[in-house]
Amino acid sequence: MLPNYLPRPPRGDRPLVVLGISDVVVIEGSPAVPVTMHHVSAWGRWVRDVAIPDDAAARVRRLADRYDVVWASEWGHNAHTAFAAALDLPEEPWPFLPVQFDKLDRIRAYAGDMPWAWIDGPVVDLHDPGDVTDGVLVRVDPGAGISGVDLDLLDARIAELSR
Amino acid sequence: MDTGTAYGLRPGSPLNELAQVGPGTPYGEVLRRYWQPVAKVEDATTRPISLKVLGEELILFRTRKGKPGLLHPRCIHRGASLFYGGVEEEGIRCCYHGWVFDTEGHCLEQPCEPEMGLHRDRVRQPWYPVQEQYGLIWAYMGPPEKKPLLPRYDTFENLADDEVLIVNDKGVGGGGPEVLDFNWLQHWENVMDPFHVPILHARFSGNQFTPEMALIPEVSYEYTPTGVRSIQMRELGDGRQLRRVTEVMFPNLRVVASPKLASGQTNMIGWVVPMDDTNFRIFTVARDSDPDFLLKLRSTHEGKPWKELTDLEHQRLPGDYEAQKSQGDISLHTEDHLTTTDQGIAMVRRMMAKQIRLVANGGDPAGVVFDEDSRVVRIEGGNYFEGAADAPLLAEAVED
């Protein structure tokens, strides 16, 4: 884990779904799915106009209904607050891991014995994560983000882990 | 029981994929896809000089006919350095056995060989193409089949009669020594960190720039086709707003308008050119009617130039050099706790990772120009005052 950073521990009663932001919730470049531009802010310190898939809020909600969602991105704690309105997120922020690249070790350390899945874009892999058998690794199409993830298949793969 | 102590602390590591610049390194291959400034035009003379660029040792010279050349230093005969060579009309003659190479590495003579070298056309001294523009020598060190055009920048076009282009290779904008002795990325990504300005350059060091720059800005970030841009809005309290636009353009340009807040489009651009993984130079070009413009822009600390500070003053009045150098020879990026004020830096790193993938997959990175119609690049950076036109600045700019 990052020295001197202690993330809020997982609830421990449900599998984890770890979400990146860029390429997952935010589409950079040409979108392959319908998107809407949102003006997001980090406590007023800065703003960005970002393209978010129109069904991202519903998909994130579906994940949150079944799993503990953890943000893992360079957005830090702003991952939840910046996207709260656009994704209709609950007021209580979800835990976050402030890491931008090669996140696998941090995710494993955070998850411990919990089953986990990690959804992210390919750019975050400065090193090939290789074959991952202790979790579910989902790499999105950057043009579609979370909209392109087969959530039923994800459920099945997570259930397989939990056995 | 105490918690969070340093006992057992395991240090992190650099993101070498982003930081390293040598041949075959991921971002080194990105850097090589662009023309890089390597010297001032006047540094290319009939006396060869050694350069180190992107981890490669090179020899720069100018033939007696005026053509600059950039060659690999080890003579292809038996490795003597061309640093000791004699420059002639058409090229450089190795000191050891007199082989002559032109500016493209063709061997013109092998004087100790029969008929001046029956097979001299079958050997080639490794070389890099060079061009001269804006008072700088530019080198292309990438794959020959991918060589782009050397771009022009609208900032430096159409000079007024009283304007000149001013070139500086002594680290303007970096603070510190002429050769900056830490990894180049720590400086370049700092361009996208406007939040350090009111802290490092005001609260800690006293107003190094102007009082306006001490105001914490509201910032917006955006990707551009060629890099990352931040737009910093400052309410000046007199009905005016300052919209300051700062850019990084790939692979290593810094577009930072004068911190003394000259109004309008920036008149200068800097290139952060690594010598190797732990040393870099900054080449800056500016347009102005004052040939000393760049010299006058150097930061001072309570009125003193950086090189005159005592060790105690360096500690008490840190600037960019102290902050960035102290991150390490190459910062341990995996230890970074990226948070609210690091969005710009995160965007730069992310775009770097994308260029690495593009280049590795045979594509062209952001901003390389092959089309003559696209050769002149538009620069958006600058200081734009909006609102009440006649209100004065908060105070006179800090004097050198």
Whose CA is closest to B128, among B8, B224, B34, B261? B34
Q: Min CA distance, B10 vs chain A (Å)? A: 8
Please give the model's pTM, rounded to 2 decimal places: 0.94
CA end-to-end distance (rounded Å), chain A: 27
Tokens representing B204 are 């800690």
Q: Does B4 touch chain A (CB under 8 A)?
A: yes
pLDDT digits (tens, 9 = 90+) for A20-40: 999 999 999 999 999 999 999
Residues in A lying within 8 Å of B, measured between beta carbons: 2-5, 22, 28, 42-49, 74-78, 98-102, 122-124, 126-127
**B3 pLDDT above the threshold of 90:** no
Averaged pLDDT for residues B136-151: 98
Residues B176-180 have a mean pLDDT of 92
Using a 10 angstrom Cβ sphere, with 0-12 exposed, 13-18 middle and 19 or more buried, the burial of residue B25 is buried
Q: What pLDDT is stored for residue B209 in this prediction?
A: 64
Query: ipTM of the predicted structure?
Result: 0.95
- Digit-coded pLDDT (tens) for B89-106: 999 999 999 999 999 999
Task: Name residue, tokens 């100018």.
Answer: B62
Question: Could you report the per-residue pLDDT of B187-217, keeping only the tens digit for each?
Answer: 999 999 988 988 888 777 766 667 777 777 8
Give the tens place of pLDDT for each residue, B215-230: 778 899 999 999 999 9
Other beta carbons less than 10 A from residue B73's beta carbon: 20
Task: List the structure tokens of A11.
Answer: 């609830």
The one-letter amino acid at A86: A
Our CA-based measurement puts residue B335 at a distance from the nearest CA of chain A, in whole angstroms, of 6
Q: What is the pLDDT along chain A (163 residues), one digit of tens a residue?
A: 455 678 898 888 999 999 999 999 999 999 999 999 999 998 888 999 999 999 999 999 999 999 999 999 999 989 999 999 999 999 999 999 999 999 999 999 999 999 999 999 999 999 999 999 999 999 999 999 999 999 999 999 999 997 7
* Residue whose pair of structure tokens reads 């290779």 in the numeric block: B169
What's the CA gap between B59 and A1, in Å, rounded? Answer: 46
Is B338 in contact with A76 (Cβ distance < 8 A)?
yes
In the predicted structure, residue B161 carries a pLDDT above the cut 60: yes
Quote the CA–CA distance of A132 and A125 in Å, as a whole number.
13
pLDDT average, residue stretch B44-63 = 98
* Rounded-to-integer distance, Cα B368 and Cα B251, Å: 9
